[in-house]
């Protein structure tokens, strides 16, 4: 499968714990996006990377959230001191720029449940 993959697919944690999610984009895609989707809503933008550089962060991304893309390939999203309000599906997408293609390709998401 050469699509966007995310791991884990599901994560249940207790309030106050730290969690980390991984996203593997489509090979050679230089842009990587993180979105958050809550029940009954569409995805909301969190942050994005151009290669290894994090270029923009949404105000939704509090200081408890940190994202990295150290080698410009896979990315991790860490949430520290999780709160019940963090429960959502965290969705990753990737895109190849400079080819005249505007389409983002989405992963299946990681469903986080904070108890």
Partner 1 sequence: KQEVTQIPAALSVPEGENLVLNCSFTDSAIYNLQWFRQDPGKGLTSLLLIQSSQREQTSGRLNASLDKSSGRSTLYIAASQPGDSATYLCAVLPDGSSNTGKLIFGQGTTLQVKP
Residues that bind partner 1 (CB under 8 A): 3-4, 31, 33, 35, 40-45, 48, 55-56, 91, 93, 95, 97, 102-109
Strands, sheet with 5-7, edge to edge from the N-terminal-most edge strand = 5-7, 19-24, 75-79, 65-68
> SS3 of 93, please?
strand
Report the run of H or E that residue 19 belongs to, with start and end. strand 19-24
Q: Which residues contact 29 (CB under 8 A, 6 or more apart)?
A: 94, 95, 96, 105
Q: Write down the least CB distance from residue 66 to partner 1, Å.
A: 19
Q: Write down the least CB distance from residue 78 to partner 1, Å.
A: 21
Q: Which residue number, 22 or 80, has a Cβ lying nearer to partner 1?
A: 22
Q: Which residue number, 74 or 106, has a Cβ lying nearer to partner 1?
A: 106
Q: Which residue number, 63 or 103, has a Cβ lying nearer to partner 1?
A: 103
């Amino acid at each position: 499968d050469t699509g966007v993959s995310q791991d884990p697919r599901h994560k249940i944690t207790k309030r106050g714990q730290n969690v980390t999610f991984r996203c593997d984009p489509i090979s050679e895609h230089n842009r990587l996006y993180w979105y958050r989707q809550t029940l009954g809503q569409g995805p909301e933008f969190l942050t994005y990377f151009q290669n290894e550089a994090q270029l923009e962060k949404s105000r939704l991304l509090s200081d408890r959230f940190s994202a990295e893309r150290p080698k410009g390939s896979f990315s991790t999203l860490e949430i520290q001191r999780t709160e019940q309000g963090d429960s959502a599906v965290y969705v990753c997408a990737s895109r190849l720029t400079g080819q005249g293609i505007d389409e983002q390709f989405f992963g299946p998401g990681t469903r986080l449940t904070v108890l």
